Chains A and B, each alone.
Chain A
Amino acid sequence: MPTAVVLAVMRQGAGLPLLLASLTGWFILAAVDRRYPLTELCAASIGLARLWYPPIGGVGQPALVLLVVASFAMALAMMAPLLTVQMTHLWIRSLARRRPRAIVLFSLAYAAVWTAAMTLLAVASAGLAVLGIGWVASLAVAALWHATPARQASLNRCHRLPRLGAFGWLADRDCLAYGFTSGLWCVGACWALMLVPMFVANGHFLAMLAVMIFLLVERQMPSRAVRWRMPFAIYSA
């Protein structure tokens, strides 16, 4: 069934470009992984703690840059396929000549929010790893968050299609604001699950792929009443 959903998403107008953007993210991640293993970069060891706290043996600024690049790439890889509705909204509601500009402005704001969030999550995961937290504990945290009304409220707001100005700086402002708020709600909905792969030492990429597919299938469902829910039960009313 997830395969059918993924295929249905890809058949949408924005599906293929977003799939290509996602693949780009995966390639960057693979490239970073060759230079500096993601398993260390993202946690599952105290590698990142060493990065963040040079006194205990950091590897310097280049590794920090890599961390930010990897955070951006991870957001690009895993979040781009979730944005078909937003991209279609920007495309339809903008003047034809302003469409690329609208998409770039949205993407800049959205990516900035996610890159910052992923960097913080990676650092946090490193700290938690030092404390002995593993993937099972992180999955439990994700399950708890996914059961909360706050998480459902965040997910519902990922479906918002705001008014977009058509002309001038008002149009630019609206696209930036749309990207920024979409990014914030998206982080709110996805942060806990995005944290889990960081604790998976073996099969890091597979865990990321599984999380991405879950989030993609879930995002195709309409918003639901805000209440406590069985975590990960995306088909319940």
Chain B
Amino acid sequence: MTVTRMNLWRLGNDWNPTMLWYARAVRDLQTRPITDATSWTYLAAMHGFDQELWQGYGYIDATTSLPPAEARRRDWDQCQHQSGYFLPWHRGYLAAFEAIVRASIVKQGGPATWALPYWDYDEASNPNARTLPLALTAPSLPDGTDNPLATPFRYGDAGDGTVDIDPSQIRLDALTEKAFLGSRSGGSPGFGGVPTGFSHSGGTNGMLESEPHNNVHVEVGGQQAAPPQNVGLMSMPVTAALDPVFWLHHANIDRLWEVWLKRDPQHANPTDAAWLNGPSGSGARKFVMPDVAGNPVFYTPRDMLNTQAQNLNYVYEDTSDPLGGAQPLAQRAVTLGLAAARLPAAVGGGVTQHAELVGANDATVQLGAAPVDTRVRLDRPTTARVIQSLRSLAAPGAAAREPDRVYLNLENIRSESGSGSYSVYVALPEGANPAEHPENLAGTLSLFGVRRATLADGPQAGNGLTTVFDITNIVDRLHMSQALDVEHLPVRFVPGAKTGPQQGVTVGRVSIYRQAQ
């Protein structure tokens, strides 16, 4: 039977049956030993495991017997990030978790129709949407026992245990990206990410993964304001799934995949075999999840396309478009002063053109607790090509083709800490207060996943991560105000969270790319 995943806040700010059963099931899973594939800790370790950190948080100790090495190699440290597999892998992960939780609920006498709620932090009609309801924060259940859904290791952006996400951190611009798969060429990384092999820690964030996914992780997990300044569970992939909020956050990310598909007839999942078959090449690990009995079940992205198929069997309460049908092309037409009739007729189709470097800053940027400025030097001939493309649409009889899109690349982001975020502004007027210029906000750089990518001998070889922001709208406005034909474009990093790393965060290069459409 198809179940419906409901909006967390619409269930009520109380101990509604859905959340009460969730709490009881989580408690049940938490009593199971880590050697049990259906236990809370085993399932969390499938996302990521770090023995030292887990001991620090008290989930295991030095005497804990871990599962056999063979099972760990097959199942653990599996989450797909900075990859076009990000969405399908997590869909399988959620479905396995949901089935195991439901089995526990049924065993305890609960409903067989239970489904994982989703946390829609962007719900416009709900002023509380960016906070967490009582069921996730109350110290105890109605019967007075400890609440397993509340963890002491959830610090929020103020570092005091309060979760209240800043609205600027949950922009849904990714929904307007036309292609599911992008590329690592400096242009669009796609709605769903870039093609990779098995990517437990990859290189370039996809657009949805970057915003709002990474940002929400870091905003919820945060870092403790008081000593010992622990980093929250949600701030790092190797601990994130230990926080019960993780599953509700990812249900929303999974829902946004459905929203993206539905909001534009041109949006479509990849059809190439390399994506559909998953990382099944030579020596590559396969995606695998335990069933309710703990037996391994292998899957590929091809199995994750239809949520109403027998292996998934769910729908979302609401997949309406939070952007009200807004299309980036229409927005560009307004900015560029074009009549709707001059809009390019044919775009989309998911073909991503190679991008071209327009300019870069001249040294590694050191980020800290105070705002930091850098300047991207623009290459004149390449900038001229961008300007020419912007002008071409206004010319009489111009071909129906969208002008270049422009992307800001933050390359080789490194940090020893997983917590912290920075709002990145492009072309702020000199002396301006960034908060008064949201139109210059390129995006929010969150450090989720950066710690592991910084390890010299980790799977990312210490290269750090790369995040790409679409700054086409900012560039369009600069062009219209005759301010694009310049030597340098200023970029400012403003610390987003109230707590976070004071030093040791670096961005190897800040660069700008053009991508012909």
Name the A residues within 8 Å of B184 (CB-CB): 92
Known: A2-B282, A166-B359. A222 touches B461 (CB 8 A): yes
Q: In the docked arrangement, what's the CA distance between A222 and B202, Å?
A: 10
Residues of A close to B381: CB separation below 8 A: 97
- The distance from the CB of B152 to the nearest CB of chain A, in whole angstroms, is 31
Residues of B contacting A140 with CB < 8 Å?
A: none
Residue of B nearest to A237 (CB): B73
Shortest distance between the CB of A213 and any CB in chain B (Å): 12
Contact of B463 (CB < 8 Å), options: A8, A159, A170: A159
Q: Give which listed residue, B283, B362, B458, B461, contacts A235 with CB less than 8 A.
A: B283
- A96 touches which of B73, B357, B359, B457 (Cβ 8 Å): B357
In the complex, chain A residues 1-34 whose Cβ is within 8 Å of any chain B Cβ = 1-2, 4-5, 8
Q: Which of A191-199, A203-211, A223-231 contacts B (4 or more CB under 8 A)?
A: A223-231
Q: Tell me, in angstroms, the Cα distance from A166 to B513 when the chains sit together.
A: 12
Residues of A with C-beta under 8 A to B412? 161-163
Cα(A114)–Cα(B302), bound, Å:
44
Nearest chain A CB to B458 CB, angstrom units: 7
List chain A residues, Cβ under 8 A from B462.
Answer: 156, 160
Complex Cα gap A92–B463 (Å) = 15
Q: Is the CB of A166 within 8 A of B511?
A: yes
Could you tell me the distance between the alpha carbons of A181 and B221 in the complex, rounded to whole angstroms? 38
Interface residues of A in 200-220 (CB under 8 A from B): 217, 220
Q: Does B360 have its Cβ within 8 Å of any Cβ on chain A?
A: yes
Any A CB within 8 A of the CB of B161: no
Q: B382's contact among A1, A2, A93, A95, by CB below 8 Å, is which?
A: A95
B364 at interface, CB cutoff 8 A:
yes
With the chains together, A220 CA to B281 CA distance in Å?
Answer: 11
Most A Cβ at <10 Å: residue of B282, B381, B411, B463: B282
Looking at chain B's contact residues, the main secondary structure is loop
Q: Are B511 and A160 in contact, CB atoms less than 8 angstroms apart?
A: no
Interface: B490 (CB within 8 A): no
| Residue pair B461, A5 in contact (C-beta under 8 Å) | no
In the complex, chain B residues whose CB is within 8 Å of the CB of A2? 282
A24 to B4, CA, bound (A): 61
B459-472 interface bits toward A, Cβ cutoff 8 Å, 1 = contact, 0 = none:
11111000000000
Max chain A CB contacts within 10 Å: which of B356, B364, B382? B356
Chain B interface, number of residues (Cβ within 8 angstroms): 33
Q: Indicate if the CB atoms of B282 and A223 lie closer than 8 Å.
A: no
A220 and B509 alpha carbons, distance in the complex (Å):
25
Q: Are the CB atoms of A157 and B461 closer together than 8 Å?
A: yes
Closest A residue to B459 using CB positions: A222
Min CB–CB distance B487 → chain A (angstroms): 11
Instruction: Report yes or no: B463 in contact with A165, Cβ–Cβ below 8 A.
Output: no
Asked if B508 is at the interface (CB within 8 A of a chain A CB), the reply is yes
Answer whether residue B456 sits at the interface, using C-beta atoms and an 8 A cutoff.
Answer: yes
**B307 lies within 8 A of chain A by Cβ:** no
**Does the CB pair B283–A166 fall under 8 Å?**
no
Question: Which residue of B is nearest A226, CB measured?
Answer: B457
Question: 0/1 per residue, B30-72, Cβ < 8 Å to A?
Answer: 0000000000000000000000000000000000000000000
Given contacts A92-B186, A163-B411, A166-B379, contact A156 B461 (CB under 8 A): yes
B 192-221 binary contact with A (CB < 8 Å = 1; else 0): 000001000001000000000000000000
Which residues from B are CB-within-8-Å of A221? Answer: 283
Q: CB < 8 Å: which of B281, B355, B359, B509 contacts A4? A: B281
Q: Is B377 an interface residue (CB 8 A)?
A: yes
Question: Is A153 on the interface with B (CB-CB < 8 A)?
Answer: yes
Task: List B contacts of A152 (CB < 8 A).
Answer: 457
What is the bound-complex CA distance between A222 and B455, given in angstroms? 13
Q: B203 — nearest CB in chain A belongs to which residue?
A: A161
Residue among A1, A92, A96, A97 facing the most chain B CB atoms (10 A cut-off): A92
Bound-state CA distance A235–B360 (Å) is 38
| A93 CA / B511 CA spacing, docked (Å) | 9
Q: Cβ of B461 and Cβ of A96 under 8 Å apart?
A: no
B185 CB within 8 Å of chain A: yes
24 A-B interface contacts by CB (under 8 A): A4-B282, A8-B281, A92-B184, A92-B186, A92-B357, A95-B356, A95-B379, A96-B356, A97-B381, A152-B457, A156-B456, A159-B463, A160-B463, A161-B463, A162-B412, A162-B508, A163-B411, A163-B508, A164-B509, A166-B359, A170-B362, A222-B460, A224-B457, A237-B73
List of 6 A-B pairs having minimum Cβ-Cβ separation, nearest first? A159-B461, A166-B360, A1-B282, A235-B283, A163-B508, A222-B459
